[in-house]
Amino acid sequence: MEKKHNINTLYPVILSVPPDYEKLKMRAKVRFLSQYARQALIISEQLSFNSRNIDNCLQTSGTLPKDENSAPMPVNGCFWSVTHKPAYAGGVVSCKPAGFDIEKIKEYTKGLRRKIADNKEWSLVDPEKLESFFRYWTAKEAVLKAAGVGLSELSKCRIAGIIDDFHLKILFKNQIWIAEHFYFNDHMASIVKNDFQVIWKKPVVSLWLNSC
């Protein structure tokens, strides 16, 4: 009998992109990262649902369902979110709408800072710290993903409070969302936590290999 989902726990999975990725041409790189992030989804679902709905869907149709705005749609009750950068790919499966983002911590422009948050929001943290910017950026993007909207809604997504170094509150569409951060190897990941316990699966290279 298939086990039921542990409704109290999220398992965001982060996979290290293997070195051979750099040998691929640009179009093949994009395809590889997308498929590698889906592999992270499959692992996350196995950890939480102990099922293979995502894998079965990919085997059947080769893709995962999205709505008219390209927002992820659930597969047999499995909500999902993926993210990837050149060095890492990630995915999470949940029984509720999910949002997951990874960014490399690096220098950015003052103009981008103004775009991500206003002065009131920046007053909650030290705006000169790189980590502050990437906390805000990844948390907001995770919330927008969970809400099924794009970056056009970014200005409506506001930091409502700092809980601690690993959690903050965001106000979006009259709802408070709790985001959790994970710092690793000059990168930051954020996930919509809300009432879930989060167990991060640290970066590993998957045994899955793509023949791109």
Complete DSSP assignment for 88-133:
EEEEEEESS---EEEEE-----HHHHHHH--HHHHTTS-TTSHHHH
Is 113 inside a domain boundary?
A: yes
Is 183 inside a domain boundary?
A: yes
Is 133 inside a domain boundary?
A: yes
SS3 of 62, please?
Answer: coil
27: DSSP letter: H
Is 209 inside a domain boundary?
A: no
- In order along the chain (212 residues), what is the average pLDDT of each group of 10 residues? 62 92 91 92 90 86 87 92 95 95 95 95 96 98 96 96 98 98 97 96 64 40
Question: What is the number of structural domains in the chain?
Answer: 1
Domain CATH code at residue 135: 3.90.470.20
Is 212 inside a domain boundary?
A: no
Determine the pLDDT at residue 75.
Answer: 92
Determine the pLDDT at residue 63.
Answer: 86
Is 32 inside a domain boundary?
A: yes
Determine the pLDDT at residue 207.
Answer: 53
Domain extent at residue 97: 9-204
Is 92 inside a domain boundary?
A: yes
Is 211 inside a domain boundary?
A: no
Determine the pLDDT at residue 2.
Answer: 45
Q: Which helix (H) or strand (E) holds 38?
A: helix 26-48
